[in-house]
Amino acid sequence: MAVRVLVALVLTVPVVAGCSDGGSSASGSAANAGTNEPAQGTWFRERGHAFGIDFEHRSGAVPERYLMPEIMGGGVALIDADRDGRLDVYLVQSGSLDDPAQGANRLYLNRAGEGGAPEFEHAVGVAADTGYGMGAAQGDVDGDGIVDLYVTNWGRNTLYRGDGAGGFADVTEACGAGDDGWGTSAAFFDPDLDGDLDLYVANYLVWSPQGAIECRNEMGARDYCSPQSHFSPALDAFYRNAGDGTFTDESEASGIGSTPGTGLGVTVGDFDGDGTFDVFVANDGMSDFLWAGAGDGTFVDRAFEAGCALDDSGVAKAGMGVVAADPDRDGDLDVVVCNLHKQSDSFFVNDGGRFRDRTLRSGLGSVSRRFTRFGLGWIDFDHDGELDLFQANGRVMRQARDLADDPYAEPNLVLRGLGEMRYEVVDNADGGLVATSRAAAFGDLDGDGDVDVVVANRDARFHVFENVAPKVGAWIGFDVREANGAPALGARVETFESTASGNDDRRYARCEPASSYQSSNETRVHVGLGARTTPSIVTVVWPGGEREDFGPLASGRDHRLVRGAGRSAD
């Protein structure tokens, strides 16, 4: 289980605040960033018990067996299942490979308590999938404006249709999306721009307990295998929506089924600026995928051509989680992939559809390689106007020195954005909790405007981290909706300040829940504004390319933006 350890475990992490791409480094932290103060102090407070979320993950591991799915951990989805405007929490259980019925997923509904504080209530038996669980994805598959859930498993996946009142019905067989592989992360999106959501499912390996082999760690002891030990990469799956929430497997016809991989993290976005949706997949020990969409539901892997398949040394890293955002505010999507112990993160900066590996210059090089990172978020937690990074960490093999009673446990990392795409560690950011962390999902659980975090821990209680970071600026939020009331997945929100000299301080964010590792984030779009407090002009670029203006809109609150209710910006 998770235990507290000395703060010194986190304090011993050195920080490289600046480093040239050529390899020469400059040590230090905030001193290299002008007026930025050193990042220290608690940014997150664990509130699981206080909020009523007491769910414990179970891997089903038994001594000296080391079956690979048992090291993967469960998943998290932050959704509004009952349409009351508050985020509910869906937690994915693994259970037992011997008897899947030993574990079931849980939905916690958010009931506002005294003073509006969240009080979560277990919705017993709702969406209680008993497969050997991995992750979850959200989207409105049948166009009724209500969120639906897709659960990935080792074994058959499950599609749940929501009723809008907090209930879900298993419609897997009727809808034809029950992939039978080893599913990890998944994403709903509209690559053919026909107005309904199709489905991408990342699969990890072709594996069975009967084919398990013995592997050993660096100390010579039996331990969990890497995917390279089996080397049986799996084909990812693509399901096309008929428009009514039923699906056809078009993995082969779409091109997705052309190349096997070891997919763990998935995110969606328009990475090449052509107005269509692409899919970035973090592969474990193989080159990453960048499936470039043609706008008709077909794809070609352009990762090598775009410069994001390998790091700048030509190495395929062990990708776990992935996130895309626009920290340099140039209008295109940059990418961070987090990787295995001894491998740094991969920070790919997008320049018009071509990527450059800027990991060393960002300050992520030396600090990140000390841990194995899985869940990942790129969010302005302190509202200073710069995106910060949260990384959920935990080993996959034992090492010589344990950091807690659990030999796979590691501290999470929070890295404060300093501007110019450089980062420094926030010391003791989550109070020193150490666990074998996996999935991490991000959203405003308590309705105070900032972004909280739910972390899945292997064989331990899920952590619910309330954001208590010192706020140094303003924020604004957007609930972007299709005309039918469903979240507008894939919509891009551009905010800028209207001044006498023209529009400036433009920022870009997206409604995209699919990112991190085996997780689905809130669909609300959160933007940190820093010192800017004047009302914002907002342009929404809807899926399909239609543009609408809204505002001016005040900071410090969420705004609901509905397709068709704004002013045409075309």
Give the per-residue pLDDT at 153: 98
Taking the chain (570 residues) in consecutive chunks of 10 residues, what is each chunk's mean pLDDT? 34 34 30 41 94 97 95 98 97 93 93 82 97 98 98 98 98 96 99 98 97 93 94 97 98 98 99 98 98 99 98 96 98 97 96 96 90 98 98 93 87 96 90 94 98 99 98 97 98 85 80 99 98 92 97 96 92
Task: Compute CA distances 472 → 158, 385, 529, whole Å.
Answer: 43, 9, 10
- Across 3-60, the runs of DSSP E, i.e. the strands, are 3-4, 18-19, 25-26, 44-46
By 3-state DSSP, what share of the chain in percent is helix, strand and coil, each rounded to 5?
10, 40, 50
Q: What is the dihedral of CA 133, 134, 138, 144, to 10 degrees?
A: -30
CATH 2.60.40.1120 fits domain 474-568 = yes
How would DSSP label each residue in 185-232?
EEEEE-TT-SSS-EEEEEE-B---GGG---EE-TTS-EEPPPHHHH--
Domain with CATH 2.130.10.10 in the chain: 44-467
Q: What is the C-alpha separation between 131 and 103, in angstroms, rounded?
A: 8
Q: Smallest Cα–Cα separation from 156: which of 190, 122, 135, 179?
A: 179
Q: Which pTM does this prediction carry?
A: 0.92
The values of phi and psi at residue 354, to 5°, are -115, 135
Asked if 20 contacts 32 with a C-beta cutoff of 8 angstroms, the reply is no
Q: Which residues of 369-389 are buried (b: 16+ CB within 10 A; e: fewer)?
A: bbbbbbbbbbbbbbbbbbbbb
Half-sphere exposure of 533 (CA within 13 A, CB side): 3
| pLDDT digit string, tens, across residues 227-244 | 999 889 999 999 999 999
Q: Smallest Cα–Cα separation from 284: which of 353, 225, 200?
A: 225
| Angle, alpha carbons 308-313-315 (nearest 5°) | 70
Q: What is the C-alpha separation between 314 and 308, in angstroms, rounded?
A: 10
Strand order in the sheet with 433-435: 3-4, 433-435, 410-411
Domain with CATH 2.60.40.1120 in the chain: 474-568
Give the per-residue pLDDT at 497: 84
Asked if 359 contacts 346 with a C-beta cutoff of 8 angstroms, the reply is yes
| pLDDT digit string, tens, across residues 243-254 | 999 999 999 999
405 exposure class (CB count in 10 Å sphere: 0-12, 13-18, 19+): exposed
How would DSSP label each residue in 66-103?
--GGGGS---EEEE-TTSSSS-EEEE-----SS-GGG-
Q: What is the C-alpha separation between 294 and 159, in angstroms, rounded?
A: 27
CB neighbour list of residue 86: distance below 8 Å, 6 or more residues apart: 80, 110, 112, 118, 447
Which residue in the block uniquely carries the two structure tokens 């038994």?
62
124 exposure class (CB count in 10 Å sphere: 0-12, 13-18, 19+): exposed
Give the per-residue pLDDT at 125: 97
Give the per-residue pLDDT at 4: 34
For the domain covering 44-467, report its CATH number: 2.130.10.10
SS3 of 161, please? strand
Instruction: Quickly count: other Cβ atoms within 10 Å of residue 315's Cβ.
Output: 11
